[in-house]
Structure 1
Amino acid sequence: GKASRLTACISSQVGCPMRCTFCATGKGGFARNLMPYEIIDQVLHIQEHFGARVSNIVFMGMGEPLLNLPSVMQAQDFLNKTMGIGARHITISTVGVPNAMGKMAQYNTQCTLAISLHAATQAAREAIVPSAKAYPIQAIMDDAEQYFKSTGRRVSFEYTLLEGVNNSLEQAAELAALIRARDMAAHVNLIPWNPVDESEFQRPSRNSVFRFKKILEEKHISVSIRATRGLDAAAACGQLRNMYQKNPLLEDISNVATVA
């Protein structure tokens, strides 16, 4: 039979500065970038815990990987070449950092780029992804198309479905049009939103998720629905935050006295 898959969802930063409205990590603020060894160590820890080899890696834990690109790519290189995890089984996710996709393409990696889109228009995206103001959606699509042309690798688009915010059938059609306007191979990953404390959002019904998917399929967009794992431990997509952490992480740690 097929070898069992063990996917490690790993972090690239402690906290995250991007502050996406539906994500618990963003509510906690940002502390620092992780070093390459700290990224690799997460994978080793998971292998030790499960007593099995990690087969797939997604940089979808805490942090914006493209804001820590040198460390992420160094770790990715080690995971691929030294630990033998296929580059095509490694996905690096980004909410969008200007000029970073081009830099990532220069590493000549075969790993997958996943762009957290979450909306198909600039106005809708700005409402849920504050960093979108600095990086218009058409510029993201330009860079995604260029990434595909540079690497030949299909680009994934992550789309968290928020009830009544971005999950209408009209928005599904807009998403399809946005992608079809581009000359690139693409895949859409639909992620039903996972509950986060103190959040105004709601998880969409199963039916509405399938209706959204059906419209994309009718428009010939490759699409899948992300299976939710980790809800019971509050470790599902967008839930990663220390439950003991009541205050946001320090934005600037340089002015804090350290104990020698």
Structure 2
Amino acid sequence: MNENILNKLHIANAVEFMKNYMEKNSIDLTVTSPPYDDLRNYKGYKFEFEEIAGELFRITKKGGIVVWVVGDKIKNGNKSLTSFKHALHFQEIGFNVHDVMIYAKKNTPFMRSNAYTNGYEYMFVLSKGRPNTFNPIKEPTVRSGMEMLVHNKGPDGKNKKVLKELKKEKTKSNIWYYAVGLGGSTKDKIAFKHPAVFPENLAQDHILSWSNEGDVVFDPMCGSGTTCKMAALNNRNYIGVDISEEYIKIAQKRLNNTLGRLFA
């Protein structure tokens, strides 16, 4: 790993930065949300998807993970399906589509007049071979303790029950719910100078799930710096890249505030 780029934010084109400064098989985890379908103005940035995907495959360690958070544009009542096109391309170049997860928004402002409100985005978990790390996030079960539970129901349809223990917690499903907006995505008001802020808890949950302390977490389109902030808070190394100097300044302020609290 090039130590000169570690734990820093960089103003650069993502493809050029990866090609020029990042070594093959050097990144444990990437968590990012790309500027898909030109839904927002990202300071004139041109999104070079296939080039970015290729470089991500090159720099990801064997057993490393890329979390790709993406949705679809709706134009004239027709969804673009960009999300699936991205996932299929990642698969074609060598990634495994390890999981297709759902980022469900608890509060969504976008209503449609002739269809149900779209309240989710996809989180494609892409692995380079078998994942090296999985630290499952747990949640409390509704019931726990000893109960008579159905066991080996036969073709006769009769419920055969045995005494078994219900655990106090279970691994979360692959549908994750987050509030969005100020106080939901983050309490950092400055972050909302960026047009698309994803929840800090979303980034943190993936960082905790797919990496360990001391690993390197990357965001090639880091925007307001959410991935890098949560990596730092959870004792991971980080590398953040964005072509916009304005967004890097926002991200740096958030990191400075975070690191200031950590070492105060």
The TM-score normalised by the length of structure 1 is 0.35
Bigger Rg, which one: 2
Higher relative contact order (CA 8 A, sep 6+): 2
Greater percentage in strand? 2
The TM-score normalised by the length of structure 2 is 0.35
Greater percentage in helix? 1
